[in-house]
Structure 1
């Protein structure tokens, strides 16, 4: 029997429990309101310090032309990985390879080529997201996981990595391993002018929030400012310096009890959580609503990514759409043309519409 968020908005059950299920640490951490707010904002901000990634982002200008739809679609994808059915998530992972096939080019600082499907780039995005989600949960939510639960969390992180082009074997399985990974990445990061500008832009939640009545404008302003302070407060000082971000230590201290109380209050009502999520990412609500509202799936089973690929007929992401990716490289590196947006257009049925002002798209093959 379908539950409803509003009388005319039925909450459809997922086909199954996805890759993790109700007993997983992933569901516990990712379903807390810290995760898809501060946690996710932290992830998309920090990842811009990777020169290759920010070059791809800057080349498309999507976060400038259509920041709301870009944020909405990205958040929906990560929510699908955590909560979606195995069929829907496998489809999203497959189409994302085609989407990323257009994010190729030459990084202006080094002159090296970049490719969003590169395993190292995908690992950076993946670990930044899973680490940020956990860090926000610990800082502004219930607190630190037990050693056993943290070990399970990183094992589940490795499972999720199978949905991207990176190698799950490269995913650290402990807090110490994550620290070592970021220490190894630090010399490769750069606070370029483009990176700093992009990070500052993404810290402005106002460009991400869905439209609201004018009477709520003051509340939007407050939410935006508090989210910015809370997100910066989670960043180490070396990273803030690299990003050109300054914030008084007093704000770091004061925002923590405020956010803990705010998130704990919101968490008292699942419908209030969904209402808040709807302001950030309307496309993510149908993915998360069955989990928060306790809507049982059609089949109470979980699968591994390998089992899902075999059942639904998908290739491993690292091997998927090789011919298409080769065509994209030929367009960009051999003929000097813009990459095709056909993968983006195909993804709309899976990740949500891209309808927003922006430059013309290239659709040829």
Structure 2
């Protein structure tokens, strides 16, 4: 039996994550995740994210993890998940307001990081025209498998668009802007350190568009007006970006992503032949 990892060429996940416009969603996820004070403070106190000399390497590792989790064979997925769990195990954050110490890998924190990531992919995919209502629900349902990789109880994970909306509404009261979130955002809009200049410029441009894709309440937390016109113009931009990138040749990618592209093209040809 061929090992296509968690998802495979017939999944909605592969179709979504192979689209270049999803880089915007990745940046959106980082901006949204930063609004949880405990998650952000714990990251600040234990991570290289805020060190300009190390932040790009950490960013690369995050990208590699998402790529392996999405497209890699099961053995590689298991190893990647085990590495993340070991890195988080035993790490603690300190809340200066309450004086409380807490675990970095606490279930509520892990769930927030997962949900903010998937909700960001979902939002950009829908607005760029990649997903309709049915495929959007399928995408969220498939994402439960990704949550399990880092040790999240699948029974607690939103598995539909409606459940994701309910979860986001429930956690919203605890979200706010902190100094740590401002510093993290600053590293996205003005990247420094080891990243080549074209990469830094690309990250800054994608982050600027990603900021505009955030929900209105989140844009207000970042100090921007939450205007409906921003939503409309950003949706048009996402659709245009998806069309434009779809006309360009694929950029070189790691072997598992190149193989996923090949398998997805083959699956689409088979579907077209059956439909014809």
| TM norm structure 2 | 0.83
For 1:151, which of 137, 148, 151 is the aligned residue?
Answer: 137
Unaligned runs of 5+ in 1: 1-14, 279-284, 297-365
Q: Is the 8 A contact 1:46 1:199 kept in 2?
A: no
Aligned residues: 262
Question: Match of 1:105, SS?
Answer: strand
Match in the other structure for 1:186: 172
Larger radius of gyration: 1
Cα offset, 1:177, TM superposition: 1.2
Report how far residue 249 of structure 1 moved.
6.4
d(CA) in 2 for partners of 1:208 and 1:290? 32
Deviation digits for residues 12-49 of structure 1 (CA, Å, limit 9, x no counterpart): xxx820011100011111111122x1111111111111
Deviations 1:238-272 (A, max 9, x none): 11222334587666544443443233222234523
TM-score, with structure 1 as normaliser: 0.64
Confirm whether residue 43 of structure 1 aligns to residue 29 of structure 2: yes
Find the counterpart in structure 2 of residue 334 from structure 1.
none
CA distance, structure 1, for counterparts of residue 250 and residue 58 of structure 2: 25
**Which structure is higher in RCO with an 8 Å CA cutoff and minimum separation 6?**
1
Q: Which residue of 1 aligns with 2:220?
A: 241
Q: CA deviation at 1:210?
A: 4.3
Does the alignment pair 1:228 with 2:203?
no
Shift of 1:207: 4.2
Contact in 1 for aligned 2:7/2:70 (Cα 8 Å): yes
Paired position in structure 1 for 2:151 = 165
Gaps in structure 2 of 5+ consecutive residues: 266-276
Is 1:115 aligned with 2:103?
Answer: yes
Pair 1:211-2:196 in alignment: yes
Q: Find the aligned partners of 1:226 and 1:258 in 2 and give their Cα distance.
A: 13
Secondary structure at 1:64's aligned position in 2? coil
Matched, 1:142 2:129: yes
Residues 1:73 and 1:159: Cα distance change in structure 2 (over 3 Å): same
RMSD of aligned alpha carbons: 2.7
Partner residue, 1:291: 260
Are the counterparts in 2 of residues 195 and 243 from structure 1 also a CA contact under 8 Å?
no
* Residue of structure 1 in register with 2:270 after alignment: none
Q: 1:255 to 1:234 in 2, by over 3 A?
A: closer
1:16 corresponds to: 3
Task: Name the counterpart of 2:274.
Answer: none
The Cα of 1:138 is off from its aligned counterpart by 1.7
Larger relative helix fraction: 2
Distance 2:229 2:141 in 1: 36
State whether residues 16 and 85 of structure 1, in contact with CA within 8 Å, keep that contact through their aligned partners in structure 2. Answer: yes
In the TM superposition, structure 1's runs of 4+ consecutive aligned residues that sit over 6 Å from their partners are none
